Amino acid sequence: KPQGVLSGKRIVITAGPTYEPLDPVRFVGNRSSGKQGYAIAAACRNEGAEVTLISGPVHLSPPPGCEVVQVRTAREMLEASEKALPADVFIACAAVADYRPAFETTHKVKKERGGLTAIDLVENPDILATVSQMEEGRPQLVIGFAAETDDVIGHAETKRARKKCDWIIANDVSPGTDVMGGDRNTVTIITGKGDEALPEMPKDRLGAYLAQRIARKLSAG
């Protein structure tokens, strides 16, 4: 078991997309690869933390030494997150679908029977907001990500306030950035006590940086 600045700490991380089923062969999803969340999980583990990684459907090998819980939908991800707590830190890196199809048919939707020209959607539970607002056993540090395409910092600040997490990590995912799915990321860490804009770096370097930054925060109380 590795020893490091996070030894003795328990960390729960969500990663990847969610797939929201429409019928037995179709789903509503997104382009998240899980790379950033997996990189954070591996880095926290390398620093000695006990890590549970709750992962949507991705094509990545599980990070060594982490407990991995595989889920598909937002509702499954919420249930797995609640089951994995209590923890010292919760990190919501998953790109959770905000909405899911209101009806999941057990038969494949057929074009010749009128087919599919519109999808009714209903709102999914918000995992980050739920964990941030737990009345009992709230993790000491709750960290969200904010994937934005315009007014990145402004929208991220608003999300931090609305969801009531401690930190939010603002990500510019505009077309051309290749952050979703790619190997590099450019973020600003918003802590409520100042913003820290980091240069572009590989996702595993950002994972290692965050592990150190989290350890510093936990020891400062």
What CA–CA distance (Å, rounded) separates 76 from 70?
Answer: 9
Q: In this structure, are residues 180 and 147 in contact, taking their beta carbons and an 8 Å threshold?
A: yes
Residue 126 annotated as binding?
yes
Q: Least separation, in Å, of the C-beta of 70 and ligand PMT? A: 15
Residue 90 annotated as binding?
no
Q: Using the rule CB under 6 A, give the single segment among 44-52, 107-115, 134-142, 178-186 that binds ligand PMT.
A: 178-186
Q: Least separation, in Å, of the C-beta of 115 and ligand PMT? A: 28
Q: Does 44 bind ligand PMT (CB under 6 A)?
A: no
Sign of CA dihedral 137, 138, 141, 147: positive
Q: In this structure, are residues 75 and 14 in contact, taking their beta carbons and an 8 Å threshold?
A: no
Q: In this structure, are residues 144 and 160 in contact, taking their beta carbons and an 8 Å threshold?
A: yes
Q: Using the rule CB under 6 A, give the single segment among 65-73, 82-90, 108-116, 121-129 that binds ligand PMT.
A: 121-129
Enclosing H/E stretch for 110:
none
Among 173, 190, 211, 214, interactor with ligand PMT by CB under 6 A: 173
Q: Does 35 bind ligand PMT (CB under 6 A)?
A: yes
Among 7, 98, 102, 151, interactor with ligand PMT by CB under 6 A: 98
Binding positions for ligand PMT, 179-198, rule CB under 6 A: 179-181
Counting every residue written for the chain, the total comes to 221
Q: In this structure, are residues 148 and 155 in contact, taking their beta carbons and an 8 Å threshold?
A: yes
Chain centroid to Cα 54, Å, comes to 9
Q: Mark 140-169 with x for binding to ligand PMT (rule: CB under 6 A) and - for no binding.
A: ----xxxx-----------x----------
Sign of CA dihedral 4, 5, 6, 7: positive
Residue 98 annotated as binding?
yes
Enclosing H/E stretch for 67:
strand 67-70
Q: In this structure, are residues 113 and 34 in contact, taking their beta carbons and an 8 Å threshold?
A: no
Residue 127 annotated as binding?
yes
Binding positions for ligand PMT, 64-83, rule CB under 6 A: 74
Q: Is 30 tagged catalytic?
A: yes
Q: Which residues are known catalytic residues?
A: 30
Q: Where does this chain bind ligand PMT (CB under 6 A)? A: 14, 16, 32-36, 74, 92-96, 98, 124, 126-128, 144-147, 159, 171, 173, 179-181, 203
